[in-house]
Amino acid sequence: MTFKTTLGSLLLGAATIGFTMPAAADQLEDIKAAGKIVTATDMHYAPFDMLNNGTYEGMTKDLFDEVAKEIGVEPVYQDIPWTAELPGLEVGKFDIVIAPVTITPERLERYSFTPPIADATVALVKAAGNDEMTAPEDIAGKTVGVQQGTAQFRQLQAYGETLGGVDVKEYGTTDEAYADLATGRLDAVAGSLPNLTYLVKNRPETFAKFEPAQFGEPTYFAWVLRREEESETLLAAIEDAMAKMTEDGRVEAIQTKWLGSYTELPATAPGQ
């Protein structure tokens, strides 16, 4: 029997028994089959994510509880250090990163983003009663804390270079940076405007925002999925859920509860 004959016989046999290739995996179908969606976040990033006497709460949880309800599954929340979240997502340790992740051109090339959940423009906070620094440019030559591995860290570095230099000190969490600012080890802390607004609102005796507080280009926070065909249906389901929540007022109510006001946000991730 020749090779051609053998190959022909195999193809004929496959056709006879109705041979088909297995369908591509679908993340949304897998999640619905399991009845749960596994998430990762850093529970030390108020007002989005925080632990209150061991209980997870915050704006992120309130939003994602509603999204999971719309999808029809139970959310599983995991407290993961920020620097381990995106690498863990890539290797499939969880379905989605719900820590507020700043949308950047570099990240858009590598990940899929949900619709924005908040403004993420970088801003500055100082110790209450510090009258030596008022505007952002006053941090020139000062020591400024920021969470490591964040877009705010990169924006602070770039801004510091335009001022002739800023001593940037990195922290694993924003809480650690705030503690050092309160004890005088730092001159200022850089972070997203919503985080710093919440901080000053709850601790006005200790912290104050710069005026103006923001610097750099306007940016947004969103959640992150793997950038692959299998995740497209999950992204579409989250977009549909958030559109419904925006239309019926749930997004506005949750924003107002945690941030004190409502900001209308794009329906999809800008640039995606």
Looking up residue 38, the CATH number of its domain turns out to be 3.40.190.10
Query: Where are the extended beta strands (E) located within 135-198?
Result: 143-147, 167-171, 188-192
**Same domain for 151 and 105:** no
Q: How far apart are CA 98 and CA 76, in angstroms?
A: 11
Mean per-residue pLDDT, 176-190: 98
The answer to whether position 138 is within a domain reads: yes
The answer to whether position 2 is within a domain reads: no
The answer to whether position 206 is within a domain reads: yes
Q: At residue 230, what are phi and psi to the nearest 5 degrees?
A: -65, -20
**Same domain for 104 and 63:** yes
DSSP class of residue 231?
G
CA distances for 58 relative to 149, 195, 269, angstroms: 22, 11, 22
The model's pLDDT over 74-99, given as tens digits with 9 standing for 90+, comes to 999 999 999 999 999 999 999 999 99
Indicate the number of domains in the chain: 2
**Same domain for 181 and 151:** yes
**Same domain for 159 and 132:** yes
Lookup: tokens for 52:
């209150």
pTM of the predicted protein model: 0.78
Q: Would you state the pLDDT for residue 178?
A: 97
pLDDT of 168 above 60: yes
Lookup: tokens for 155:
């924006």
Give exposure, 150-180, as e/b (b: 16+ Cβ within 10 Å): bbbbbbbeebbeeeeebebbebebbebbbee
> 241: domain range?
27-118+221-259
DSSP class of residue 224?
E
**Same domain for 127 and 110:** no
**Same domain for 142 and 110:** no
Q: How far apart are CA 172 and CA 97, in angstroms?
A: 17
How confident is residue 153, by pLDDT bands cut at 50, 70 and 90?
Answer: very high
CA distances for 190 relative to 44, 135, 250, 256, angstroms: 16, 13, 30, 23
Q: What value does the mean pLDDT of the chain take?
A: 90
The model's pLDDT over 25-80, given as tens digits with 9 standing for 90+, comes to 899 999 999 999 999 999 999 999 999 999 999 999 999 999 999 999 999 999 99
Q: How far apart are CA 5 and CA 10, in angstroms?
A: 9
**Same domain for 162 and 91:** no
**Same domain for 112 and 34:** yes
The answer to whether position 184 is within a domain reads: yes
Lookup: tokens for 98:
């719900």
Q: Cβ distance 201 to 226 under 8 Å?
A: no
**Same domain for 147 and 70:** no
Q: How far apart are CA 187 and CA 205, in angstroms?
A: 16
Q: Would you state the pLDDT for residue 1?
A: 43
**Same domain for 197 and 154:** yes
